[in-house]
Structure 1
């Protein structure tokens, strides 16, 4: 059984818009309306999204950073925390991101400000060792989340019930390991993931896998695609394959990847159904996307 900051058990119940609607209807019959009607989803952050807002290099939130020094006692190799400076809307969901084999955090640094400016606290980490395999990277992602929510300077800005993980290559495999180990997490996005384990049928966390069509380091036919296929069919899951792109397509700013990553995290960490329209219906193959598969948010 997994734990997170003293909480024991599986992931907390996700916010259900239908439950709120039923509550409003019942209250109307009784002649009263709950005060919460002013904001049906208390986890929404930022203005109503548009196609241009999810594709923009920056979101609506101003951001700042703080550095976490390498310290072997904390379980990961240090990193950089990117966070929104405005807390007037409340606390934020948070994500930890791991680089891949022989990479430093610089390989995934572009996600930091991009995601933070959309309303997340983002921790881009270095691993204990650049040669660490996926499972240790998964453990380090979880240690980074624990640091964020319990000991970091921005812990009071974070809702510890709304957390996710991303990772590139072996870090992507690590993100699968992390959600397999800690099912109360809310979202995962493995980026060109590599792992020797092909079976992720026990994963119970909404997962979007992003791969490159011509990846020869972690070929999608033997990594990303079988990982996706092994995830339960009942799970909210998606597979995005970038047309003509290789293993490192996820390591530099990319509008398509940002759009889908932001929408996935917003939908499942913030329970924000305003972003469903960027995920469903599934996009058709085009000059950027060679394949897209999903179950669409249930």
Structure 2
């Protein structure tokens, strides 16, 4: 049975929330008319994964257990700048968590993701699901995690996908890919190391989403990295007019490195397009046949903002 075969959106009785929980106004991603999934209203609250302040977005009225999408932030980008993208992905049936992970990366102490966040998030999923005070009590599929990533966070995601402990992404002595991690979608990401592109021995399906106006992680780098993804399902989605910060709430988030190219798409449009393709790709890898039809067959033709290549 498809993991998403029982996701009708019906009204639930009101949730009793703890005093520290806030509920966001509903947020709906702009839908492609041909998309098989109608985006749902989304709520949010603040939590903590280990020591990281974390934003949590989830479909307000979804029935049944939901998979968790761990959003790995870009280097030096505060998690607050992913609120719209996180809400948009969540509207397609995911609990999206965005930890603010600050650590030393060589000589720079700033927001940098690490492979350790996978185990930390799985622990949070189990504890949150068991907590009667949580808005997500008994609502989390604790056996299913997918990955989202931006820039450095996407590169961390590629390292996770390879089941590798590699510098600068792995901050522990070892890393083992949990079976709960099923797939990843990474924006503005490549695996170039001093002009060299190693083979990506991925153990899970991988999607690259690439803004064609990206002046920091260049389109040609993503194209080469895509050819290096060795195993199973893979896809590259090219978004015309989007630059490196096409998934953040604003261009050039405070504290992050500045993009050199302008973006011709509106921020709302680039977020809606990238979130839709990431969410439906991830749903497809979890067994949603309607989402698979969209990302592999009909979506490219219906969405003027993208061109798509998939394999196998």
Above 0.5 in TM-score? yes
Q: 1:100: which partner in 2?
A: 74
Give 1:25-104 correspondences, 5 Å limit. 40-41=1-2, 43-47=4-8, 51-52=32-33, 54=35, 59-60=39-40, 62-69=41-48, 74=50, 77-86=52-61, 89-104=63-78
Q: 2:24: which partner in 1?
A: none
- Which has the larger helix fraction? 1
Report if aligned partners of 2:32, 2:303 keep a CA contact under 8 Å in 1.
Answer: no
| Separation of aligned partners in 2, 1:91 and 1:285 | 31
Q: 1:293: which partner in 2?
A: 309
Q: 2:288: which partner in 1?
A: 272
| Separation of aligned partners in 2, 1:170 and 1:155 | 32
CA offset digits 1:75-96 (Å, max 9, x no partner) = x622111123446x32111101
Q: 2:18: which partner in 1?
A: none
CA RMSD of aligned residues (A): 3.2
Gaps of 5+ in 2: 10-30, 129-133, 164-176, 250-267
- Over 3 Å counting, the alpha-carbon distance change for 1:155 and 1:129 in structure 2 is farther
Would you say 1:242 and 2:218 are equivalent positions? no
CA offset digits 1:59-79 (Å, max 9, x no partner) = 23x43322124x7xx2x6221
3-state DSSP of counterpart to 2:113: helix
Of 139, 152, 165 in structure 2, the residue corresponding to residue 157 of structure 1 is: 139
How many pairs are equivalent? 244
| Separation of aligned partners in 1, 2:303 and 2:89 | 25
| Separation of aligned partners in 2, 1:42 and 1:160 | 13
- Over 3 Å counting, the alpha-carbon distance change for 1:140 and 1:81 in structure 2 is farther
CA offset digits 1:244-297 (Å, max 9, x no partner) = 33211232443321221121121113x1111122112272598522x421115x
Q: 1:145: which partner in 2?
A: 121
Report if aligned partners of 2:7, 2:64 keep a CA contact under 8 Å in 1.
Answer: no
Q: Which range is displaced more, 238-247 or 251-260? A: 251-260
